[in-house]
């Protein structure tokens, strides 16, 4: 859920504590509700970030969110065609912008979302 990010794990735990302080035990359903609450609390910031991005960067983020894994060759013909992203040069400019804005980060040669809840928001909200 938090992709092993300590900060996001802590955020989720705080939300769970706030929401279910009086519950004896928490189950998977409680955790999903907690994730949804974190996303709801951050939705305004996510909308602002989204609105500030150029179209190609948005399209790339949606494609990456739909793939659900950083293990994707974003410049491969198959990926570009599957997600209708156009030429690699325009994707490269989008990647540069997303790295500069710290929306994505490069880890071991793969591009990952810096905010796992933003990725989940995109998975839920994007067409």
Here the CATH number for the domain that contains residue 72 is 1.10.10.10
In a domain, 20, yes or no: yes
**What pLDDT is attached to residue 102?**
96
Judged against a pLDDT cut of 90, whether residue 83 lies above it is answered with yes
Residues 111 and 65 in one domain: yes
- Let me know whether 35 and 86 are in one domain: no
CA distances, 13 to each of 10, 24, 37 (Å):
5, 15, 11
Neighbours of 112 (CB within 10 A): 17
Secondary structure element (H or E) that encloses residue 43, with its range: helix 28-52
Local confidence band at 93 (pLDDT 50, 70, 90 cut-offs): very high
**Domain that includes residue 85, residue range:** 51-125
Per residue in 49-61, pLDDT (tens digit) is 999 999 999 999 9
């Amino acid at each position: 859920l938090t992709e092993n990010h300590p900060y996001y794990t802590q955020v989720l735990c705080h939300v769970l504590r706030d929401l279910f302080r009086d519950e004896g035990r928490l189950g998977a359903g409680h955790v999903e509700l907690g994730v949804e609450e974190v996303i709801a609390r951050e939705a305004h910031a996510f909308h602002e970030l989204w609105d500030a991005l150029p179209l190609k960067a948005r399209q790339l983020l949606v494609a990456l969110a739909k793939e659900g894994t950083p293990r994707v060759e974003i410049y491969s013909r198959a990926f570009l065609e599957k997600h209708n992203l156009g030429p690699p040069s325009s994707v490269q400019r989008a990647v540069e912008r997303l790295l500069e804005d710290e929306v994505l980060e490069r880890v071991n040669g793969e591009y990952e979302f810096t905010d796992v809840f933003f990725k989940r928001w995109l998975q839920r909200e994007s067409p």
